[in-house]
Amino acid sequence: MNIEKLIEKDFSGVISVRKNGEELIKKAYGFADINNKIPNEVDTKFATASAGKAFVAVGILQLIENRKLSFDDNIGNILDFDLKLIDRNITVKQLLTHTSGIPDYFDESIMNEYAQLWQEFPNYKIRKSIDLLPLFINKPMMYKTGEKFQYNNTGFVVLGLIIEKITGLLFDEYLTENVFIPYEMSDTGYYELDRLPAKCANSYIYDQNRNEFYTNIYSVDVKGTGAGGAFTTVNDIEKFWDNLLNGKLLSSNMVNKMFTLQSSYENNYYGYGIWLEKTEDGTYEPWFQGCDPGVSFITSYDRSKNINITIISNIGNNVWEMKRKIDENVIL
């Protein structure tokens, strides 16, 4: 079946499907800049929201492999600022698996729109992970540490801060030097929205009242943090998967741990910084995603069939439904 027939008519972004190393499709649609009619291209850089959690997880796991950190280290012994009501005994493992109970600056169980955060706190102040501290440091714990799984953005902001404390580098500098540059992910980085490099797509939100698109520059952090916000391309995501699965970014043993079920809630399964899809034979296949106003992203790797799917949109298209259709109609 022709994959293009499954793509939404208004889709804007890039889709890539590989099987056994062969490209079934890699194609760009829509515009990186709508008003100036600048088209998206395969090597256009897109914002990916929470997809960056997978990069942060790799950074943390690298430090664990290098014995500069352990899963059982607790934040009270690492961080040097007052944690106030936050449990000092939260472990690195609990942060990685969304079981820490740390107060979430964006609690997706009660907040619908990420843009709500910036109604009272200017988004342009977020230039580093530590800049998010005022949004959660005075809040109580959400639940007892280790009690359950609940997706948590603060947990990965804190993981970014842990990288910074241990390495002396900003978390994105560490990732650039130890994940992106060494493995030829040259089009991946954490960029400030008011200082974007060339070949970056704007992310757009549709205004139904005015029947037009507007950019999301007032709806998200001006620069990504440990919780997400990396810009990347489908080509770099493919390199990330290849180097991860080939035991280059991490040892094969650590990759297996990353892809092993660590926490779950109902039908949601999670490893270390990555989602897991339970298969019919009881094994798990890795995937990760991101969603912000004007941003939608999903990528998966079915290791049993050697199929890699990546879909990025800069107008918030339903990439999850598109992937489902590909899984059901194309992947045999």
Cα 48 from Cα 294, distance rounded (Å): 10
Q: Which is it for the CA torsion 85, 87, 93, 97, positive or negative? A: negative
Looking at the domain covering 3-329, what would its CATH class be?
Answer: alpha beta
Q: Is 164 left (phi over 0), alpha (psi -120 to 50) or beta?
A: alpha
Q: Any idea where the domains of the chain sit in the sequence?
A: 3-329
pLDDT at 331: 59
Per-residue pLDDT of the chain (332 residues; tens, 9 = 90+): 588 888 989 999 999 999 998 999 999 999 999 999 999 999 999 999 999 999 999 999 999 999 999 999 999 999 999 999 999 999 999 999 999 999 999 887 777 788 888 988 999 999 999 999 999 999 999 999 999 999 999 999 999 999 999 999 999 999 999 999 999 999 999 999 999 999 999 999 999 999 999 999 999 999 999 999 999 999 999 999 999 999 999 999 999 999 999 999 999 999 999 999 999 888 999 999 999 999 999 999 999 999 999 999 999 999 999 999 999 887 55
Q: Tell me the per-residue pLDDT of 58-115, one tens digit each, with 9 for 90 and over.
A: 999 999 999 999 999 999 999 999 999 999 999 999 999 999 999 999 887 777 788 8
Decide if 273 contacts 54 (C-beta within 8 A): yes
pLDDT at 329: 83
Type of residue at 215: T
pLDDT at 1: 58
Decide if 202 contacts 313 (C-beta within 8 A): no
Which helix or strand (DSSP H or E) is residue 45 part of? Answer: none
Q: Which residues contact 324 (CB under 8 A, 6 or more apart)?
A: none
Q: Exposure of 141 by Cβ count < 10 A (0-12 exposed, 13-18 middle, 19+ buried)?
A: middle
How many residues comprise the chain?
332
SS (H, E, C) 86-120: CCCCCEHHHHHCCCCCCCCCCCCCCCCCHHHHHHC
pLDDT at 76: 97
At 288 the three-state DSSP class reads strand
Q: And the tokens for 140? A: 């109580």
Q: What's the DSSP call for residue 328?
A: H
Percent above pLDDT 90 for the chain: 90
Q: Which is it for the CA torsion 58, 62, 63, 67, positive or negative? A: positive
Type of residue at 30: G
Q: And the tokens for 237? A: 């995501």
